[in-house]
């Protein structure tokens, strides 16, 4: 059996398009300027914005960089580059308690527009939790999309976990009610709920999510509830707008960013936390179950800039060993 690539290697491969777009531009600037002046900052700002980091986040990164350069009286371009990398890492730190729900009795709602990989993310998480010895139940609460229940059934079978579903076009809150009772009866560790993605009808979506929340609070008060918003990385700044709109109708505790391997717009990872104060908790870089992993800002930036020697790469792989 051939050795499977570790997640860090897959992450590095997955970020190729973003790296080609982003790091190549940064390298051109740092190689093309001999001194740190206004022109240098202007060019750097343009590259960051073009990489879908966003205007506001770029402004903060540049201001932070200028301040550090001034305070530390830095003249050398190479030192300035390391400060930039450190500044980007700082923008993306995830709270140390971000994954506590994995070790508690939890209900995790996944929300997002259709087509972002929501149902697939539910399935991947189910497989991972099951492999880690957790008792998992899935709730097919997206009763509006024709193929959603069928797709989730496939994932449930693949992961070997129980699925609670209802009729197509039925009441999503009723499905969650049945799933909560099943989770309690089976003493499940985690209940994962797929939901509908009808953002174009905010009023209905808001009411639906409120109804689901009321059911969980009333029937399963001992459970921790987390709402994860799934965003397709290939949509870039449009994904950021989706996050803003969903934040208006739900208490979003984290972002699941899918399809990072298919985009040059990976800079959205940096802007989401900064613009909305919502951390990216999981990132997806492929089709396999373990291609969805907890987000680690240090590994992400290291993979993005790809300036690792063999020892550092092995250290990054070791950091993810527990996640495989």
pTM strictly above 0.75: yes
Judgement on whether residues 179 and 112 belong to the same structural domain of the protein? yes
Kindly state whether residues 73 and 27 are assigned to the same domain: yes
Task: Note the pLDDT tens digit of each residue in 205-245.
Answer: 878 888 998 999 999 999 999 999 999 988 877 888 888 88
Q: Are residues 127 and 270 in the same domain?
A: yes
The answer to whether residues 73 and 212 belong to one domain is: no
Question: 60-65: which pairs have CB atoms within 8 A and are 24 or more residues apart?
Answer: 60/91, 60/274, 61/87, 61/88, 61/91, 61/270, 64/90, 65/41
CB 293 within 8 A of CB 323: yes
Question: Do 30 and 178 share a structural domain?
Answer: no
Considering the domain architecture, whether residues 136 and 273 belong to the same structural domain is answered as yes
Q: Is residue 323 part of a domain?
A: no
Domain count of the chain?
Answer: 2
- 148 and 172 co-located in one domain: yes
Q: Which domain holds residue 53?
A: 8-91
| Same domain, residue pair 84 and 128 | no
Q: 100: pLDDT confidence band, cut at 50, 70 and 90? A: low
The answer on pLDDT for 270 being more than 90 is: no
CA separation, residue 315 to residues 13, 96, 98, 217, 300 (Å) = 17, 20, 22, 42, 13
Nearest Cα to Cα of residue 29 among 17, 41, 15, 21: 41
Residues 125 and 270 in one domain: yes
Q: Are residues 64 and 117 in the same domain?
A: no
At 34, which CATH number? Answer: 1.20.120.140
- Going by pLDDT thresholds of 50, 70 and 90, the confidence category of residue 261 is confident
Question: Is 25 part of any domain?
Answer: yes
Give 291's DSSP letter: G
Q: Quote the CA–CA distance of 79 and 274 in Å, as a whole number.
A: 24
| Same domain? 258 vs 143 | yes
Residue 310: per-residue pLDDT: 43
Query: Quick check: is 324 in a domain?
Result: no
pLDDT digits (tens, 9 = 90+) for 155-190: 999 999 999 999 888 999 999 999 999 999 999 999
Residues 130, 46 share a domain? no
Q: Are 269 and 300 in contact (CB under 8 A)?
A: yes
CA distance 125 to 236: 24
Query: Domain holding 208: CATH number?
Result: 3.40.50.300
Q: Is 149 in contact with 170 (CB distance < 8 Å)?
A: no
Answer whether residue 321 is part of any domain: no
């Amino acid at each position: 059996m051939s050795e499977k690539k570790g997640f860090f290697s897959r992450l590095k491969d997955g970020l190729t398009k973003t790296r080609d777009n982003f790091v190549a531009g940064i390298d051109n600037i740092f190689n093309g300027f001999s001194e740190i002046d206004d022109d240098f900052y202007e060019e750097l700002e343009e590259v960051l914005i073009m990489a879908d980091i966003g205007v506001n986040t770029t402004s903060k990164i540049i201001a932070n960089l200028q301040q550090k350069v001034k305070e530390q009286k830095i003249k050398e371009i190479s030192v300035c580059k390391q400060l930039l990398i450190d500044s980007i890492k700082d923008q993306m730190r995830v709270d140390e308690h971000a994954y506590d729900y994995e070790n508690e009795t939890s209900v995790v709602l996944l929300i997002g527009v259709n087509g972002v990989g929501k149902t697939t993310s539910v399935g991947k998480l189910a497989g991972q939790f099951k492999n880690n010895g957790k008792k998992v139940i899935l709730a097919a609460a997206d009763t509006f999309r024709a193929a959603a229940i069928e797709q989730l059934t496939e994932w449930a079978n693949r992961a070997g976990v129980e699925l609670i579903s209802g009729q197509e076009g039925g009441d999503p809150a009723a499905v969650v009610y049945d799933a909560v009772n099943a989770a309690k009866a089976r003493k499940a560790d985690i209940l994962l709920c797929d939901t509908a993605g009808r953002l174009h009808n905010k009023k209905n979506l808001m009411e639906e999510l409120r109804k689901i929340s009321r059911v969980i609070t009333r029937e399963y008060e001992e459970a921790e509830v987390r709402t994860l918003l799934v965003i397709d990385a290939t949509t870039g700044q449009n994904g950021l707008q989706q996050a803003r709109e969903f934040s208006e109708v739900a208490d979003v505790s984290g972002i699941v960013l899918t399809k990072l391997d298919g985009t040059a717009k990976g800079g959205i990872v940096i802007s989401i936390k900064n613009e909305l104060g919502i951390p990216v908790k999981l990132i997806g870089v492929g089709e396999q179950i373990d291609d969805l992993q907890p987000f680690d800002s240090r590994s992400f930036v290291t993979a993005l800039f790809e300036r690792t020697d063999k020892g550092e790469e092995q250290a990054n792989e070791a950091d993810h060993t527990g996640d495989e």
